[in-house]
């Protein structure tokens, strides 16, 4: 699929079917997300895959407690209904192992957060 079409077809999904995502599909999506550009190719983020229903419920509860949980009518319940949740986590220590500490000194936004955001975008676009 052409990249411009991928961007136009992307949409937010809050309703899910009660069936697992095929491993080959999930693996491809995760692999794409792991290969995004990052600061010095440190890959200073981790992708945590959550399949367990109890853990997804805990993630949903944490989102409900967040100030954005009801932003413009959105609700966090979709998190626990998804068959899989991927949580991108910035990894400051991985960044600092290459560039030293304190890592924040030369960045307005910490690089590991920017890089995990790139990874999030790759997750979203790979699911189109």
pLDDT for the residue numbered 53 = 94
pLDDT for the residue numbered 56 = 93
pLDDT for the residue numbered 71 = 60
Of 50, 49, 35, 40, the closest CA to residue 118 belongs to: 35
Q: Report the share of the chain in percent with pLDDT over 70.
A: 91
Superfamily of domain 13-34+42-126: NADH Oxidase (3.40.109.10)
In this prediction, residues 82-97 reach a mean pLDDT of 91
Q: What's the first-to-final CA gap in the chain, in angstroms?
A: 10
The pTM of this model reads 0.82
The two tokens of residue 63 are 């989102």
pLDDT at residue 115 greater than cutoff 60: yes
59-84 confidence digits (pLDDT tens)? 988 887 776 655 665 667 788 889 99
Of 36, 15, 34, the closest CA to residue 26 belongs to: 34
Cβ neighbours, 10 Å, residue 38: 20
In this prediction, residues 42-68 reach a mean pLDDT of 88
Ranges of H-type helices in the chain = 3-9, 23-34, 53-65, 77-81, 92-99, 111-126
């Amino acid at each position: 699929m052409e990249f411009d079409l991928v961007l136009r077809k992307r949409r937010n999904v809050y309703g899910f079917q009660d069936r697992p995502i095929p491993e080959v599909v999930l693996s491809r999506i995760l692999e794409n997300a792991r290969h995004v550009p990052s600061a010095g190719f440190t890959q200073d983020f981790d992708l945590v895959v959550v399949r367990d229903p109890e853990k997804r419920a805990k993630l949903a509860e944490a989102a409900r407690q967040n100030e954005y949980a009801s932003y413009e009518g959105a609700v966090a319940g979709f998190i626990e209904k998804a068959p899989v949740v991927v949580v991108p986590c910035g990894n400051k220590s991985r960044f600092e192992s290459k560039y030293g500490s304190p890592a924040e000194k030369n960045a307005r936004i910490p690089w590991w957060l920017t890089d995990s955001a790139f990874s999030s975008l790759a997750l979203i676009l790979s699911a189109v």
